Amino acid sequence: MPITRTARTGHRPGRTTAALVAAALALLATLGPGQAAAAVPSASPGLARLLQRDADALRDAGVSGVSVRMRTPQGVRAVRSGVGDLRTGDPVPRDGYVRIGSTTKTYVATVLLQLVGEGRLSLDDTVERWLPGVVRGAGADGRRVTLRQLLQHTSGLPDYIQDVVPDLSPAGYRENRGTTHTSEQRIALALSHPPSFEPGTRWEYSNTNYVLAGLVIEAVTGRSWEQEVHARILRPLRLTHTFAPGDDPFLPRPHARNYQQFAPGGPMTDTTRAYLPFDGDADGSVISTATDTNAFLSALLGGRLLAPEQLAEMRRTVTVPDRPGEVPGTRDGLGLFWTPLSCGGGYWGHSGSSFGTVAWPAATADGRTAITVTVHSRPGDEATAARQIRGVTTLVDHALCAANPARRAG
């Protein structure tokens, strides 16, 4: 689900605990950027075999289960590897339901930009205009934060995530997973901390930005962000397997089981049930399938959801600071990241995660080719986590380069 480069608890843990948080919650924030991938071999095998090879490599890197679904002008390719249930050994379901986490943000940004296109608000409006008095505290001031800065993570507002993981352990997950928060409570948690920087002066991922964006949608339309996403995106595109579950923590069937290792060498804990403290708002609560996710990205980038002016705004990017292991040159738009490919150009997408799962959707600039990779376990040590994410980004890189040899991705 949510995403910050380094997720952290609000209890200011020591170095050891902080490292475990970074590993276990890695990508609970910005799973848009990834890690550098090797170029596709010149003598590339068939696309399906290529996908299967890289999915098997993820399995061999310790992921319990992997599913890949790719949509191209020539048709659909889908592969699986590993198992969908460690207890029974059942395979990963074909096109099962998954929590797509922070990919939710792309849906929310799309709705906000539709409202811009309708003249009902402006990206330069302040948060204060639509949510008077909501962003005040510890130095934060909604009169100085714009909607564009929310969508592009340049607001400086702190991330509430640090306050909703009080105990990073199997027992802590089970004890706290049913705790619910309103959007206002999440914002209040965030605003108990000072801003990270002056609005517009830097970039730093914060899930709080999109909780606020969800409230802005409600203030403008009189309906919840979930209702607007359904009416404006899901129903027109007939995405019947995509929805926001509210406080329902369970996945529909079929679905793989998800597993989180909370400490290096520790047991794999079944985390299929949602962790509602961060799985329940406009920053990362949507459930979908790979088929629906690919269809959404294809429609969005193909110009079916936004007018050209608003789609151009969405793809107007700022630099994301380079971090160890991430792809140099990654950039952030409004609810979409652009990530370079080893063969030239790049892809658009917004990945997401929760305890035990990562969903990584990506699409070419014209939307004609889209791929979603889902992994169903997360390790407890940083080195293994980095290796597995490298496997995901390598798979995406190989697939998009092989499917688009003329390199029209971006």
**pLDDT tens per residue across span 174-209:** 999 999 999 999 999 999 999 999 999 999 999 999
In the chain, % helix, strand, coil (3-state, to 5) comes to: 35, 15, 50
Residue 16 has pLDDT above 90, yes or no: no
Please report which confidence band the pLDDT of residue 36 belongs to, taking 50, 70 and 90 as the band edges. Answer: very low
Q: Which helix (H) or strand (E) holds 337?
A: strand 337-340
Please report which confidence band the pLDDT of residue 404 belongs to, taking 50, 70 and 90 as the band edges. Answer: confident
Mention every residue, 6+ apart, whose C-beta is less than 8 A from residue 370.
70, 71, 293, 294, 295, 297, 298, 361, 362, 363, 364
Distance, CA of 75 to CA of 39 (rounded, Å): 23
Report CA torsion sign: 303, 307, 312, 317.
negative
Tell me, what's the pLDDT at 406? Answer: 59
Distance, CA of 303 to CA of 386 (rounded, Å): 34
Residue 310 has pLDDT above 70, yes or no: yes
Averaged pLDDT, 59-86: 96
Residue 305 has pLDDT above 70, yes or no: yes
Tell me, what's the pLDDT at 2? Answer: 34
Residue 113 has pLDDT above 70, yes or no: yes
Averaged pLDDT, 295-306: 98
The pTM for the full model equals 0.89
Please report which confidence band the pLDDT of residue 10 belongs to, taking 50, 70 and 90 as the band edges. Answer: very low
Q: Which residues lie across from 33 on neighbouring strands?
A: none
74 versus 23: the higher-pLDDT residue is: 74
- Could you give the residue ranges of the DSSP H alpha helices within 142-250? 147-151, 170-176, 183-190, 208-221, 225-229, 235-237
Distance, CA of 159 to CA of 306 (rounded, Å): 28
Distance, CA of 173 to CA of 253 (rounded, Å): 23
Q: Which helix (H) or strand (E) holds 134?
A: none
Residue 12 has pLDDT above 60, yes or no: no
Tell me, what's the pLDDT at 27? Answer: 43
Residue 320 has pLDDT above 70, yes or no: yes
384 versus 24: the higher-pLDDT residue is: 384
Distance, CA of 182 to CA of 201 (rounded, Å): 29
Distance, CA of 249 to CA of 245 (rounded, Å): 8
Please report which confidence band the pLDDT of residue 78 belongs to, taking 50, 70 and 90 as the band edges. Answer: very high
Catalytic residues: 102
Please report which confidence band the pLDDT of residue 326 belongs to, taking 50, 70 and 90 as the band edges. Answer: low
Averaged pLDDT, 332-346: 96
The model's pLDDT over 117-144, given as tens digits with 9 standing for 90+, comes to: 999 999 999 999 999 999 998 899 999 9
Tell me, what's the pLDDT at 321? Answer: 84
Distance, CA of 397 to CA of 204 (rounded, Å): 25
Q: Which domains does the chain have, with CATH numbers?
A: 15-403 (3.40.710.10)
Tell me, what's the pLDDT at 133? Answer: 96
Tell me, what's the pLDDT at 340? Answer: 95
Contact 369, 70 (CB under 8 A): yes
Tell me, what's the pLDDT at 66? Answer: 98
Tell me, what's the pLDDT at 35? Answer: 36
Residue 18 has pLDDT above 90, yes or no: no
Averaged pLDDT, 382-404: 92
Please report which confidence band the pLDDT of residue 26 belongs to, taking 50, 70 and 90 as the band edges. Answer: very low
Percent of the chain beyond pLDDT 90?
82
Order the strands of the 259-261 sheet from edge to edge: 268-270, 259-261, 377-378
> Mean of the per-residue pLDDT values for the chain?
88
Tell me, what's the pLDDT at 17? Answer: 33
Of 200-214, 281-295, 321-335, 388-402, minimum mean pLDDT range: 321-335
Averaged pLDDT, 208-212: 98
Of 14-28, 59-73, 238-252, 327-341, minimum mean pLDDT range: 14-28
